[in-house]
A = this chain, B = another copy of it.
Amino acid sequence: ELLEDATGKKLILVDHNEKEQRVNGKYEILEIIDHHKFDFSYPVPIFILNKPLGSTSTIIAEMFFEKNFEIPREIAGLLISGILSDTVIFKSPTTTERDKEIANKLNKIVGLELIKYGKEMKKKGANIEGLSIRDLIFRDFKEYNFNGKKVGIGQLELIETEEFLEKKNEIIEEMKKIKEDGFDSIIFAVTDIMKEGSTLFCVGENELVGKAFGVDFSSGYSYLQGIMSRKKQIVPPLEKIFS
């Protein structure tokens, strides 16, 4: 259930300390547990735990283990799912050894084949049947302002991308339409989890964006082996080239 207004409630902010991501209303913040960069201000002392790990689920599991709290099988399964999802089945560059360690420790309670389960989960999560290309570009889409340039970057994570990539022309056509809403460039990363790379589409300043990644975007797209994280691998080179 999505909370539209939290007025009067007491909240624990999990995985989102930044103001822009918070729910509307006047509410009390009791605690924060997160693994992101930090941007937070509050007038009274509260409990905060932030760790540079791959998933907030890893931190929550650590808290259970530290307190010797018995973790119900269902909760352990949810925490494993959180870790596998956030770390893209341990393949995202944000993954740490601690995330793997904790997922395996949790799995002593659940008994899954972790990688197989992760793939099934991602497949279900990435269910793209019945969705338009526009929906998929916007499924995980963020707007950036690089030195005055408005750039939209969408990412779609799939277990395998071959079938989807047959529609390259339709994807580029749709991106052109989106660009018309005032963007200088639209970038769309179709990430192949198993291959550990992304096909990057670009509509707009293809030459400059190509330079950022050292590839040729004259056809509108290029495959980049090893590129999986928008935050860590796609945004920083763009910030640099647009500065």
Contact = CB atoms under 8 A, between A and B. Distances in A.
B41 A52 contact: no
Given A45-B51, A45-B52, A48-B49, 17 more contacts: A35-B45, A37-B42, A37-B43, A38-B40, A38-B42, A38-B48, A39-B40, A40-B41, A44-B52, A45-B50, A46-B50, A47-B51, A47-B52, A48-B48, A49-B49, A49-B50, A66-B66
Interface string A217-240: 000000000000000000000000
A39 to B, nearest CB: 4
Contacts of A47: 50-52
Contacts of A50: 45-49
Nearest to A36: B45
Interface in A2-39: 35-39
Nearest to A49: B49
